[in-house]
Structure 1
Amino acid sequence: RTHKILHQFPLYNISYCADEKGVKKFFSFIAKTVKTREGETTTATNGHTNGSGSLKTEESHECFVFISNKLASDITLTIGQAFDLAY
């Protein structure tokens, strides 16, 4: 255990979350990621135009899979409860 935050996503960017149904050793989720790079002016996800004129955003979806011998189903359950509370 490193006790380091590897990734951090707002709940509204997570579109799918599951654990392995058999052994329940794997936990996975799909999240929308937004990357910025230098280039053209774009409209941000909130509808506002980027005023700097130097950044371009690219949205994509990525799948993250983690192995945990004991916590995979607990993590999935916790994220599911967070969805229930938020939406």
Structure 2
Amino acid sequence: MKGKKKSRIGRDAFKRAFTDWRCWAHFIITLCNNGPQRAFDTYAPSIVTSFGFGNLVSNAMAAVGLFLQVPISFGFSWVSDHL
């Protein structure tokens, strides 16, 4: 089947993709999680600096959540893979 590649995607494939509830659940979870989190990750060092900490310390304090995000992300990925 690898030798028979489709040159275009049909309307039926788009219909199946946009009516699949799993795609919509993934989209909503991603939108609710990544939108606010990315904004906070961007401005977190500036927010911590406004509390009176130095640049290096505020960057280190803002990075704690990002380091915790890695094992939590792996945990959620493992659980979602098995469900």
TM range (shorter): under 0.3
TM-score normalised over the length of structure 1 = 0.21
Say which structure is richer in strand: 1
Question: Which one has more relative contact order, counting CA pairs under 8 Å at least 6 apart?
Answer: 1
Say which structure is richer in helix: 2
